Amino acid sequence: MRWLSANWHRVLSHTGALFPLLWLALDYLSDPQSYTFNRTFMLRTGSAGLILLMASLACTPARRLLNWPRAVQVRRTLGLYAFLHIALHLFAYAVWESGFDLALVWRDLGERQAMSVGLVAFLALIPLAITSTRGWQKRLGKNWKRLHRLVYLAAALSVLHFLWLDRDFIAEPMFYAVVVGVLLALRLPMMRWVFRRRVSPRPERGG
């Protein structure tokens, strides 16, 4: 129980990140012949990947706003799970949806902006996933933080990918756009000053 009380946030991050895959597995087992499963898999992994990417972006603001250092302890976990879900999303599109027809995929990239920005977002995440270990962080030094700022680009392009898909509704992607916009705005230099003022200790009153 002591270990759980000290690591509940890690357990919660793993459980929450794996829940979408468990849900998909249960859906498949309940109706393995369903012709809509491939489409459902693609849509859910895409949404889960974006949500987890936003959650990883929220860790640093949560640490500063709540003065809770443990928030950043799950940032890498959430980011890696986001990469996993987005990779599965891309796999479902390329293999199940397009039959691994490279000509069809290439046509989509040329004709649909949503596909091209989605691919760029995924490519931006690849070096982040590869260099997510402490060993790479030591090797790259200060350049590690510079490289990992690509997550901002990936998050913004992921939202654009969602917005530009041919859909009859935009409420959900617009909500994600607002959340990502706020999370990126919280990283502006002026907001860092606000955070420092918030967490700085108050001067003691003299007697």
Mean pLDDT value of segment 157-170: 87
In the predicted model, is pLDDT for residue 196 greater than 80? no
Phi, psi for residue 5 in degrees, rounded to 5? -65, -30
Q: How confident is the model at residue 46 (pLDDT cuts 50, 70, 90)?
A: very high
- Say what the pLDDT of residue 142 is: 92
Q: What is the pLDDT of residues 7-36, one digit of tens each?
A: 999 999 999 999 999 999 999 999 888 878
- Confidence at 170, pLDDT banded by 50, 70, 90: confident
Task: Centre a 10 Å sphere on the Cβ of residue 40 and count the other Cβ atoms it contains.
Answer: 15
DSSP, residue by residue, 18-34: HHHHHHHHHHHHH-TT-
